[in-house]
């Protein structure tokens, strides 16, 4: 059962209208205060609400919610119920927590005093290729004499299984990877740091339950499996990828790091922003046909902050509606063969690009394979690909009537190779 919070709802915690985390959002995360070993929390504004403190105080019934050491142990129904309890405690006209100073000081603390961690223990990671404009641009660059999309693109959500152990939370730096690259004029490859380090603007979702190996899942069951959504930056070493990906796909070029935002935004919070996706032609096969809309109106931005700049510069703006294959279709294709989906699995959408140059979700596209350098307006620096010391900042939000439901940011600084 969904719990959608009214657009005009207000909290006794003051949250500006353009803040990503108003009372209409209430995402889940792991933010440990130094005074308590249990970390599961809900974010509102620049504060975090510690669920274990509420459990200790009897404000969350322990017999119903015994697994607050990790919210991925909950199903979507549990998350909706806890979010409803949090909403009730935080609404402006409820004095229960607002006026209990001793309890309030333990249960609600500043985000600055929380050690933000990766929100879910990730067991498996899948990266899709569902951004049709990105796929078309890549095809035009690397297969100019062929149709930009390969024959299977509009028949199934193309993807590959990535490396879950290198998924990291926003704020952790990424080390420039080393690997093999081969210049077109060279007889053999060489080994060394990538010269074409790139970002990829993506969305991701977590699953909160699993199935038995050998039992296929249905697209109609996606809601029951879904835990929530995050932003994803799937870092990419383009020169390494060009050499190694044939015939089995990316390997070292992608496995060195994937960054995610720390706050898991629930489907309940995103319900008001569901939209129809693009027309799919040909019509997908039966197992990929959903009864509901599974695209969302999520504005997305990418900024770059070099070490010489005083503030970041926005280099791309697009929208999650640009995905060809929806999140539900990605899930259905992954599980149709009976693979064992598990709690905490992460699924990334693939690079989300619009149709215009300023809406492309990677430097590969924004500079058109390095041909057209981006200029940092403040300093005059030029970028075709990322340099050591550069920080990439991605953000995303849904605009409501007088409020936003946002994801915060996913940030990462590039460190030199070792």
Q: What is the pLDDT of residues 181-215, one digit of tens each?
A: 999 999 999 999 999 999 999 999 999 999 999 99
The C-alpha R_g of the chain, in whole angstroms, comes to: 22
Catalytic (active-site) positions: 134
pTM score: 0.97
DSSP 119-149: SS----EEEE--BHHHHHHHHHHH-TTS-SS
* CATH number for the domain running over 125-415: 3.90.850.10
| Dihedral (Cα; 304, 126, 230, 317), 10-degree rounding | 40
Query: Which residues lie below 8 Å from residue 241, measured CB to CB, with a gap of 6+?
Result: 250, 253, 254
Does pLDDT of 64 surpass 70?
A: no
Instruction: Please count the other Cβ atoms lying within 10 Å of the Cβ belonging to residue 347.
Output: 26
Which pLDDT score, from 0 to 100, does residue 40 have?
Answer: 87
Which pLDDT score, from 0 to 100, does residue 69 have?
Answer: 62
Between CA 380 and CA 268 the distance in angstroms is 44
Structure tokens that stand for 224 in this block: 């029951």
Q: What is the residue-averaged pLDDT of the chain?
A: 95
Instruction: Give the number of C-alpha atoms closer than 13 A to the C-alpha of residue 395, restricted to the C-beta side.
Output: 17
Helices and strands: H and E segment counts in the chain: 11, 25
CB 139 within 8 A of CB 152: no
Angle at the Cα of 345 from the Cα atoms of 339 and 347, rounded to 5 degrees:
95
Does pLDDT of 37 surpass 60?
A: no
DSSP code at position 249? -
Q: To the nearest whole percent, how much of the chain has pLDDT over 70?
A: 96
DSSP 3-state assignment of 68?
Answer: coil
Q: Average pLDDT for residues 220-236, to the nearest whole number?
A: 97
| Dihedral (Cα; 14, 81, 295, 146), 10-degree rounding | 110
Burial of 358 from C-beta contacts in 10 A (0-12 / 13-18 / 19+): exposed
Does pLDDT of 38 surpass 70?
A: no
Start-end of H helices in 25-157: 51-56, 76-90, 95-98, 101-107, 132-142
392 φ/ψ sector (left φ>0, alpha ψ -120 to 50, else beta): beta
126 forms beta bridges with 161, 347
Which pLDDT score, from 0 to 100, does residue 148 have?
Answer: 97
From the options 2.40.50.1020, 3.90.1150.10, 2.30.30.230, 3.30.70.141, give the CATH code of 28-116: 2.30.30.230
Q: Average pLDDT for residues 246-266, to the nearest whole number?
A: 96
How much of the chain is in helix, strand and coil states, percent to nearest 5?
25, 30, 50
Between CA 59 and CA 65 the distance in angstroms is 11
Does pLDDT of 270 surpass 90?
A: yes
Structure tokens that stand for 136 in this block: 């078309």
Query: Which residues lie below 8 Å from residue 42, measured CB to CB, with a gap of 6+?
Result: 26, 27, 28, 29, 48, 49, 51, 82, 83, 86
Angle at the Cα of 313 from the Cα atoms of 312 and 316, rounded to 5 degrees:
130
- pLDDT, one tens digit per residue, over 118-176 is 999 899 999 999 999 999 999 999 999 999 999 999 999 999 999 999 999 999 999 99
Structure tokens that stand for 289 in this block: 């046909």
Strands (E), 208-341: 226-233, 236-237, 258-260, 274-275, 295-296, 299-305, 313-319
Nearest by Cα to 407 from 316, 273, 225: 273
- pLDDT, one tens digit per residue, over 328-364 is 999 999 999 999 999 999 999 999 999 999 999 999 9
- pLDDT, one tens digit per residue, over 65-93 is 656 666 667 778 888 999 999 999 999 99
Between CA 122 and CA 342 the distance in angstroms is 9
The domain spans of the chain are 28-116, 125-415
Between CA 160 and CA 166 the distance in angstroms is 15
DSSP 3-state assignment of 267?
Answer: helix
């Amino acid at each position: 059962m969904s719990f959608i919070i009214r657009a005009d709802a207000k909290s006794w915690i003051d949250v500006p209208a353009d803040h990503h985390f108003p009372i209409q959002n209430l995402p889940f995360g792991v933010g440990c205060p130094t005074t308590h070993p249990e970390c599961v929390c809900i974010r509102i504004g620049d504060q975090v609400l510690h669920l274990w403190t509420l459990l200790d105080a009897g404000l969350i019934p322990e017999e119903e919610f015994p697994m607050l050491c990790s919210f991925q142990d909950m199903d979507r129904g549990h998350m909706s119920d806890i979010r409803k309890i949090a909403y009730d405690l935080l609404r402006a006209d409820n004095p229960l927590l607002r006026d209990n100073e001793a309890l309030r000081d333990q249960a609600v603390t500043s985000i600055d005093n929380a050690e933000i961690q990766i929100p879910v223990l990730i067991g498996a990671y899948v990266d899709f290729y569902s951004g049709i404009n990105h796929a078309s641009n890549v095809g035009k660059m690397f297969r100019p004499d062929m149709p930009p999309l390969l024959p299977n693109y509009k028949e199934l959500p193309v993807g590959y299984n990535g490396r879950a152990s290198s998924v990291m939370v926003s704020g952790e730096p990424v080390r420039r990877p080393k690997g093999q690259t081969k210049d077109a004029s060279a007889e053999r490859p060489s080994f060394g740091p990538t010269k074409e380090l790139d970002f990829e603007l993506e969305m991701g979702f977590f699953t909160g339950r699993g199935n038995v190996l050998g039992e296929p899942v249905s697209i109609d069951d996606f809601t029951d499996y879904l835990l929530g959504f995050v932003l994803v930056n799937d870092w990419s070493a383009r020169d390494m990828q060009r050499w190694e990906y044939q015939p089995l796909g990316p390997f070292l070029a992608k496995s060195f790091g994937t960054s995610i935002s720390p706050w898991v935004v629930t489907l309940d919070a995103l319900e008001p922003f569901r939209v129809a996706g693009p027309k799919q032609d040909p019509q997908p096969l039966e197992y990929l046909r959903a009864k509901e809309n599974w695209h969302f109106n999520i504005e997305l931005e990418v900024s770059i902050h070099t070490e010489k700049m005083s503030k970041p510069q926005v280099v791309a703006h697009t929208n999650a509606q640009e995905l060809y294959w929806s999140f539900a279709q990605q899930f259905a294709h992954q599980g149709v063969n009976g693979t064992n989906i598990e709690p905490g699995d992460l699924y990334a959408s693939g690079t989300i690009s619009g149709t215009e140059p300023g809406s492309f979700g990677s430097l590969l596209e924004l500079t058109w394979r390095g041909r057209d350098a981006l200029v940092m307006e403040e300093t005059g620096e030029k970028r075709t690909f990322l340099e050591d010391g550069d920080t990439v900042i991605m953000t995303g939000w849904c605009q409501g009537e007088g409020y936003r439901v946002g994801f915060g940011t996913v940030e990462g600084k590039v460190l030199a190779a070792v």
